[in-house]
């Protein structure tokens, strides 16, 4: 990034985020955390299988970075394979 250009951050309203997640087949219930460096985490409902899930949404300013997207997708695949009583197994990642 150039020293002269400020970083552009896309700010979405909760309605825009809900619409985006709904488009991806899930319904947002509430924001769990927006403190992560790469993604925000939501409690959500996945109607197709009638279950509550944790949905991670990649932060908009990172979504165009191919390396970040790849890491995000690899993390989702890795976490999907974990099996432990203290780990949420049902996840949906949204880029």
Res. 89 pLDDT band, cuts 50 70 90: low
Q: Rounded CA gap, 63 and 39, in Å?
A: 10
Say if pTM beats, i.e. exceeds, 0.85.
no
> Per residue in 17-38, pLDDT tens?
667 666 677 888 889 999 988 8
The number of CA neighbours under 13 Å toward the Cβ of 12 is: 15
> Per residue in 44-82, pLDDT tens?
888 888 888 888 888 888 888 999 989 988 888 887 788
């Amino acid at each position: 990034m150039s020293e002269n250009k400020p970083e552009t951050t896309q700010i979405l309203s909760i309605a825009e985020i809900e619409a985006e997640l709904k488009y991806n087949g899930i319904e947002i219930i509430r924001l769990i955390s927006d403190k992560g460096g790469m993604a925000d985490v939501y409690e959500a409902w996945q109607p197709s299988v009638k279950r509550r899930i944790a949905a991670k949404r990649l932060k908009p300013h990172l979504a165009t970075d191919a390396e970040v997207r790849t890491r995000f997708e690899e993390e989702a695949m890795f976490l999907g394979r974990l099996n432990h009583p203290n780990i949420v197994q049902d996840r949906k990642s949204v880029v």
